Amino acid sequence: MRVTGYIDGGARGNPGPAAAGVVLRADDGTILHAGGYFLGRATNNVAEYKGLLHALASAAALGADEIEIVSDSELLVRQLNGQYRVKNAGLRPLFNEAQKLAGRFARFSIRHVRREDNKDADGLVNQAIDARKNVEDAAR
């Protein structure tokens, strides 16, 4: 099964209250999973990585063997595509975990989109920060 994972992360303040948002869609556009994950105090970049980790774990739990990740974080996308090095020590373990999880899929790709093309995941970030708790399956 192939899925597309739309991910986002954000913090109000940097660092500040943070959350990650994930929407997993089947090829026909059906939402398989949607959730916002409250992270407590974190940076924007940590929140972006947490969104990626949630997407990869959720896709694997659904039985997906192929995944395309769509993110508006240029830093995260370029780090995972090998264009940028991971210089921040706090991001290194998250990057390593992401590579490990991504390696479990028969096919993994990641691409960058503009923020306005990632509104569903962004909305889940804001819902989780506002609620100060996880909002799983929020889109159903």
Question: Which fold does the domain 2-135 belong to in CATH?
Answer: Nucleotidyltransferase; domain 5 (3.30.420)
Specify the DSSP element, H or E, that contains 129.
Answer: helix 119-131
Compute φ and ψ for 123, nearest 5 degrees.
-60, -35
Per-residue pLDDT of 65-119, as tens digits, reads: 999 999 999 999 999 999 999 999 999 999 999 999 999 999 999 999 999 999 9
Q: What's the sign of the alpha-carbon dihedral 86, 123, 126, 20?
A: negative
Compute φ and ψ for 17, nearest 5 degrees.
-55, 130
73 vs 138: CA distance, rounded Å: 22
Per-residue pLDDT of 5-42, as tens digits, reads: 999 999 999 999 999 999 999 999 999 999 999 999 99
Q: What's the sign of the alpha-carbon dihedral 26, 50, 45, 89?
A: negative
pTM, two decimals, is 0.96
Answer yes or no: is pLDDT of 139 > 80.
Answer: no
The tokens of 17 are what?
């209250």
Question: What pLDDT is stored for residue 24 in this prediction?
Answer: 97
